Amino acid sequence: MIIRETSHSFYMILQHDHAFLSGEIVKHFDENSLLSKEAFSHVQYAAYEHDRGWIGLDETPIWNDRCGEPYSFSDYPLLPKLAFYRIGLDEIEETSAYAALLCSMHFCSFFASSTDSDCLAFLQKERKRQERIKGEIQEVNDELVMQHFRLLQFSDNLSLYLCLNQPGASKENEHPWFRKGFKNTETLHTSNQPFIPRWLNRGEITVDPFPFQKEFPLSLKYKEVPKKNIKEKGIAEAYHHSELKELCVFIHRPFV
């Protein structure tokens, strides 16, 4: 679950709904910026499905007593999170081994500097998966694989940018992850510059340099769960009885 807190409520977004936006972002990406158009459909699939391991976890939100808020993707208990990451990767690999390779690289990047024994065990198993899949793919282009991995990361981050920010936020009030742009995006555009997003208003965003084929709309599904309802009913019931809403956002070229 992705959580954004306000004074009176929590905005709650299912991980798989966030991932759908990631897939839409890759679908509209300009393939001509990449080293090759090879395997692009598998990159799209990786983006659409990368968080499918969260589907079961997000069925029932749980409360973080220590922080006084619902658990989110960033602080969810580690062991079930790792277990469901692996379940999701196994399911993705059933349809696309290449997508599973990219998603495995994506998840491993979360724990690259961890010294936790459970994280290290996860990394070891996933690196074996990656090597196995690479061994099954003929003539692996490591540079293209890395570019596809960076594209998956970018799609994840731009979707998170929509989810974690108050719509229309000024640059100084954005979530700190994104104020200086998206890391590791320089290789995804001929300008060799990192992509920098900016809210124009509640329903419009620019990305500079513009990496897409054309301007396009996105629709973000979310629930706004009042804190008073959580206090009265508990997080699970309050969430399930909250109305599902949509935020429509248009991705623009930067204005000159």
Tokens 């981050």, residue located: 157
State how far the Cα of 194 lies from the Cα of 181, in Å rounded to an integer.
6
| pLDDT score recorded for residue 192 | 85
HEC string of 157-225 equals HHHHHHHHCCCCCCHHHCCCCCCCCCCCCHHHCCCCCCCEEEEEECCEEEEECCCECCCEEEEEEEEEE
| pTM of the predicted model as reported, rounded to 2 decimal places | 0.96
Q: How confident is the model at residue 4 (pLDDT cuts 50, 70, 90)?
A: very high
State how far the Cα of 221 lies from the Cα of 163, in Å rounded to an integer.
9
| pLDDT score recorded for residue 135 | 93
Summary mean pLDDT of the chain: 96
Q: Judge whether residue 158 has pLDDT over 90.
A: yes
What Å distances lie between residue 189 and 38, 95, 168, 194, 213, CA to CA? 17, 29, 26, 8, 12
State how far the Cα of 19 lies from the Cα of 33, in Å rounded to an integer.
22
Q: Judge whether residue 256 has pLDDT over 80.
A: no
Q: Judge whether residue 45 has pLDDT over 80.
A: yes
Tokens 């809403």, residue located: 245
Helix (H, G, I), strand (E, B) or coil at 12: strand
Q: Judge whether residue 231 has pLDDT over 90.
A: yes
| pLDDT score recorded for residue 132 | 97
225 neighbors 242 (Cβ within 8 angstroms): yes
Encoded tokens for 58: 């997000």
| pLDDT tens-digit series, residues 171-208 | 999 999 999 999 999 999 888 889 999 999 999 999 99
| pLDDT score recorded for residue 138 | 80
Amino acid letter, residue 83 = A
In percent, how much of the chain has pLDDT > 70?
100
Over residues 46-63, mean pLDDT: 97
Encoded tokens for 148: 């596809």
Over residues 58-78, mean pLDDT: 95
Backbone conformation region of residue 219, classed left if phi is above 0, alpha if psi is from -120 to 50, else beta? beta
Q: How confident is the model at residue 162 (pLDDT cuts 50, 70, 90)?
A: very high
Q: How confident is the model at residue 139 (pLDDT cuts 50, 70, 90)?
A: confident
| pLDDT score recorded for residue 140 | 82
Whether the upstream peptide bond of residue 197 has omega within 30° of 0, thus cis, is no
Q: Judge whether residue 219 has pLDDT over 90.
A: yes
